[in-house]
Structure 1
Amino acid sequence: MAKKVVATLQKKEGKNFAKVIRAVKSEKTGAYTFKEEMVPVDQVKDVLAKKS
């Protein structure tokens, strides 16, 4: 499945996206988990400014 994503991102229109990885602390255990999402490059600051 990863090969499919990589192949899609190598196309011309795929270069306008960035992968945002955020550490989120669990309220129950206090452990950190990571959320990953693909967002357009021009919306990266907006996504990072959001809480959670």
Structure 2
Amino acid sequence: MAKKAVATLHEGSKEGRSYTKVIKMVKSPKTGAYIFDEQMVRNEDVQNFFKK
């Protein structure tokens, strides 16, 4: 039952598919340790996210 309920939520809406979760590993200036920067960005802006 749960799978059918979840599947019906995405049936009519395609707006959620225009976003992508991106994860970038960056070095912290304070400690020097690596941290992960996670964001939801539009599909068109994925390349710009990684260029920063």
Structure number, greater radius of gyration = 2
RMSD, aligned α-carbons: 1.2
The equivalent of 2:19 in structure 1 is 17
TM-score (norm 1): 0.67
Shift of 1:26: 1.4
| TM-score normalised by structure 2 residue count | 0.67
Deviating runs (4+, > 3 A) in structure 1? Answer: none
CA distance in 1, matches of 2:18, 2:29: 34
Taking every aligned residue pair, what percent have the same amino acid on both sides?
49
> Could you tell me how far apart the structure 2 residues matched to 1:45 and 1:29 are?
27
Look up the match of 1:34: 36
Matched residues, number: 41
Unaligned segments of structure 1, at least 5 residues: 1-9
